[in-house]
Structure 1
Amino acid sequence: MIEVLTTTDSQKLLHQLNALLEQESRCQPKVCGLRLIESAHDNGLRMTARLRDFEVKDLLSLTQFFGFDTETFSLAVNLLDRFLSKVKVQPKHLGCVGLSCFYLAVKSIEEERNVPLATDLIRISQYRFTVSDLMRMEKIVLEKVCWKVKATTAFQFLQLYYSLLQENLPLER
């Protein structure tokens, strides 16, 4: 039998959800930019949803390789989507954009002692650009997301729902 949420728990949930929703609206990718990516045909000259998905898989692989938090991955994808929705990225530059978003997320979420050197990150990811290319792209990404690296992500919503379920379900379930 599922216990009914108390008024206090309901208020707590509502307050946390409202706070996340308010923050989320400020850090969402532009829908019109994402629609352009989704409707693009794969001719090698334009960004497509498929190329974006491949880059997200690379970000997931890097997250797992380094043992970073899921929150780091989620923020990296959020940064990537926010950037792609504002800038027409050529497919040949997508690796640099993705790695820059990942590096920003790592520096934002992970403990400083766990942040890899840029040279190591580039070497492990097997991309063929320099540290100065990565740093230059990082600056461009930061400018396009208005220097707002922290963002509300789907992962944060899932964490909230999960913790509330754990609190309110009997132990035997």
Structure 2
Amino acid sequence: MKVQPKHLGCVGLSCFCMAVKSIEEERNVPLATDLIRISQYRFTVSDLMRMEKIVLEKVCWKVKATTAFQFLQLYYSLLQENLPYERRNSLNFERLEAQLKACYCRIIFSKAKPPVLALSIIALEIQAQRCVELTEGVECLQKHSKINGRDLTFRQELVSKRLTEYSSNKCSTPNVQKLKWIVSGPTARQLKHSYYRVTHLPTIPEMVP
């Protein structure tokens, strides 16, 4: 959907809230007021709630759609079953997951079909690791998932280009200027005066499996 730039922050935060609510325990769901303060946006909790409703209507209230990550897990486990025990370390799932995250840092991959993107990443990694014995497995997964050969090839090319870019020195060296938070004099004075009136924000737990 097309979104006006001024609404992007509200859309992003409302999607984040819905994702947290759908997968986390209630005690781990941060308060909307805290999230708005952390993000430093000017909209209210009511604005956030209205945006959640709009997004839910756009996705037909399906907040637990199958993701590329879930397809990645499924394909990986199926391929592992076909590997001899001594070769089961050929494919590293953490590496595949990192590659998926790298792809999702580019907006173009948000339009990719989840099974196509997941299989593209696995197929490229199999080529890179030269796991010839898994080639047939990938073809079976492609057939059962009803993935068009052209779509898979096209997506593989995009993934390959993205991963090459992501691993380059240019990408791994951040632009220091972009990491600086520059505020005006009046804003700095306001922050300084309001700092002692702001209650401490609770820590958002990060559970590592």
Q: Give the TM-score taking structure 1 as reference length.
A: 0.48
Larger Rg: 2
Tell me: higher relative CO, structure 1 or 2? Use CA pairs within 8 A at least 6 residues apart: 1
TM-score, scaled relative to structure 2 = 0.41
